[in-house]
Each structure stands twice: as C-alpha cells, then as structure tokens.
Structure 1
C-alpha cells in the first residue's frame, strides 16, 4: 500500500487533502503541532482504520531537525505533501513569524527526507501565486508573506538541483483560496485569512461599503487539495510548478453570490448597485498545465461561496 506523509495536517488546505488521500486509498500520516489537534483529526474520521490514518507531532517546523523523526516510518513513506507554513496578518516579527517557518520548514523537511526516508519518490510543496509574481520589497505583511513563499520555493528547487536526492518535487501555486472549512476545525478563530472576507460580508461589515478586493484571482480549497494528490498520482507532474486558479473575482462577486444562495442574509449585504472594483483591462492568466497534467476541473464561484457561507453559518457567524 502506498504511504503518504502530510505536514501541517490541521491546516485549511491540508484538512481537505486528508479526505482526498483516504478516498484515493493512500495510507496517511499527518504532522500536527499538538496531541489535541491530532486526536481531533482522528475523531473526525471514526470509520478509518488506525493503519490508514495516524499522526505524529512536530511542534515547530522551523527548528533544526524538526522532521527527522516524522519521516521515519515502517513501512516507509512513498510520498510527502508539505503544506505546513504560516499565513496570517498577526505578525509581530516578520522573520520569526513568517520567513523562518516557511524557509527552514521547507529545507528542513527536504533534508530529513534525503537523510532518513530514501524511499520517498516525490515531495509536493504548497507554494503560492505570490511566489510567481514579480518581487517587491517586504514592506508590509502581505509582502512578507509573498517573500516567505518565494524564498521557500526557491530554496526547495535549489536543494534538489544541488543535493540531487532520490526524490523530485512539484509545487502547487494557488492565489486566494476560498471554500468550506471542514467541520472539526470550524471555529471563528480558525477561519483562514482568505475566508475572512466572506465572514466579514455575512456579518455585515461591508454593508456600507464593499472593501477593496486586493487580489482578483481565486480557487476553491477542494480543487487545491485535489491538485496536491494528483501531483503524486501523475508521474509527469514531477519537476513542475502548477498555477491553480479558477479565474477572476471581486468582493462584489462574492456579495452577489451570497445574495443569490442565502437571501436570508440580505439585510447584512451592501446594496445590489454597489460597484465592482474588478479592473476592465486585467492581467492574463494561464492555468492550462493544471488542467492538462493534473486533470483539474475548477468549481464555479457560485458553488464555492454557497458552501463556504454554509460552513461559516454552522458555527454561528
């Protein structure tokens, strides 16, 4: 049986990856920061045998040798999906909060795999559209995040080129990731940064004025999760970067989709004649590789927003 190590197992994207790995028949081990999070994942999959889903604790991905024990396994791992990396705007120290965990976490797991898990054939790394964009100085938190993803991904490609390990790598590069939060992580505090805009809209925080969209590309979390799994299933995915996006959106589009799918929330929404800030002459995108190599068929925004709102209403937003 094929065995996979998934880092950052309680994260927004990783929680969906767990479900897909199990559906596709992979023996799955997740890394988590605490016993509590590990137990929560197991409790959410009560019908899954213990040998099909388990967890190991990695408290701090930025620590030297953090993954050394986690990658050791009997039977050994065939693949590793590395999703563990910070993304939030509550930054006190850009280096400690963002850059170290992203860069050291990525190089650390690659070193551990090379030294202690020679059976691993491929490592799939969660990168970001931010790593594709032209670089800018890290003068605010979003740019620090962009830098962390850019440097972490570059460090991974450099490692493979220099160290020539037994495995190859592939990266998944999504833009803004929207979609339902799995129920066992569903709390107001645990909402990922991207979904916070949906929460803010349904709470009435944009009733007077729709906030600037900031970014105009999006993708459903379930499609991002599938991309990770397909990247280990498709042989020719090795050595490639995959820009995974469903296309363009604006906060106005989110508002209108909520208006259609959840009319009971009308009183919290801005007027229907509120303007959109989506530029007329917007940049071109190309997600062909993700469709042709990974076989992705992207969900429409309408489905994503409806499901996201439903998952947030479950916790009483």
Structure 2
C-alpha cells in the first residue's frame, strides 16, 4: 500500500503555514538506524537525530505514520537510503523533497560498485552497509548533507566525519583479518534473506538467502528444498537467523536437513536490516558490523576474540 498523498498534503500544509523558529540543534530525521548513527557520529552535540526504523524493524515493509510525516516536515534535514530500500515510501520522499531538505544518501554511490537487484532489472541491491569500505561513501554523503544544511559548522562536521572514517577503517581491517581465519570450505553464509551479498563479495563468502533481496519476496518450498540439498551436500553445519526477519523459514530449513540425517544448528543471530538495541554497542553501526563479523567467523570455525574487535560485544558468539 502506497502512502496517502492527501494525508501528506494536509500535514505539510498545516506545518508549513506555521512560523518556524530556529532550534538550538540541527533537527534530523533518518529512515534507518545505520543512517541515523552516521548523522549522530558526524553531527555530535550539534544535532538532534530521530531514526524512524528502530531495532528489529524491517525497512522493506515499513510504512510511515502521521507522526513520522509531522517529524519529517518539521525537520531541518531528512536522510533516507534510496536504492529502492524504502520502496513503499519513495513517492512520499520525492514529494517531500519539493518542499523540504531531503537527501537520499546511497543514491550517489558509483553504479559499478553496486550489485544488481534480484527482482528488478533497473534496480540495485540496497544493502551496502554490509561492506564498511563501501559504507564510507554513504557516510561522506551524510557529512556533505550536514555541511550543506549548516555550513557555519562545517569544520566540526569535517572533523567528526574524519574520526568516524578512521573507526570504519579499523573495522575494515578487523573484518578482513577475522574472516580470513574461516576455512575455505566453510565460507558459506546461509541467512533468511539475501542481505549479505556485499559482505560475501568483500570477504569471499558464498551467500545464500532463503528469500531474495527484499523480505517481501516469498520463500518457496522449492527454494527451501534446494538449500536443504546444498546443506547436506556441502556438509554445512551452521545457518544464521536475522534480528529483523522471522525465523520461520530458517526452522523449516533446519528441519528439512534433519529429515535427511544432517544436523544443522543456528550459528547465531545477525543484524541485517536493523541494528541492535538503542544504548548498546550493537546499537551503533560499528557495533552492528563487529557483531556480525565476530559471530559469523566464530560459528564457521574462524579464530576471533569472543567479544569482538575492542572487547565491547554484549555477549560472546
């Protein structure tokens, strides 16, 4: 179901007619937790960031509420991902962009760095945050959007972005080192949906999702049956559930393998389309990826510290 244009127009007209007073902090609304985290890292004390899609929320299925519309119409800056991630909200953002400061932060990525979409020939896989080296370019877009919105604070935004980029570089190094310890025959990542394609390309893993790039695609019996055969044939012993996707299909996969005499366990829960709980290390982009890398490497036979890159993970793998 697409957004209500009448609802948007009514809310926008009422809000734009009211006087706007300068706030102490730059007001930012971001769709995903990953974008919201980038805005907080770069904006620091100069920004007030609201993320629409919290822990466990699937952006492929998210629908904006009237409260969301009001927040975005009042904001100094609205940041959304693009690349068809928020497909059901695209018309809304294009309309809002005619009246307010709205930026799709992943749309400017070089097309030769993107993976094609499973279901749409003219679209791309939006899950670029799964490769922190590629996510750096999205962070740069967030930085530029903040500078364009509040140029008088450009020096602070630049400095904060540089510091965050350095942390991303550390994450890239840790990820490469940790995942390189996984034996070559075990480099198969089976998940609920195909959100880890950029991860697989970056770290040389075969990635197999029960569903396609969007969680709105159905996981058919034939797909589950084919994956069961693959698990048995390649003696894959661990699969992974996702925090924002139902584990129903994954349970069917495990039961199907068991029926053929092959034991498969859940290697852990990964963060795919949403980060961890707010206020936790896993509730940051760095912590989210640190968790994923550490859990995947540990479950598949790699040699990694139980609590991750900086010993900050809430629990060991």
Q: What is the TM-score normalised by the length of structure 1?
A: 0.34
Structure richer in helix, relative to its length:
2
TM-score normalized by the length of structure 2: 0.34
Larger radius of gyration: 2
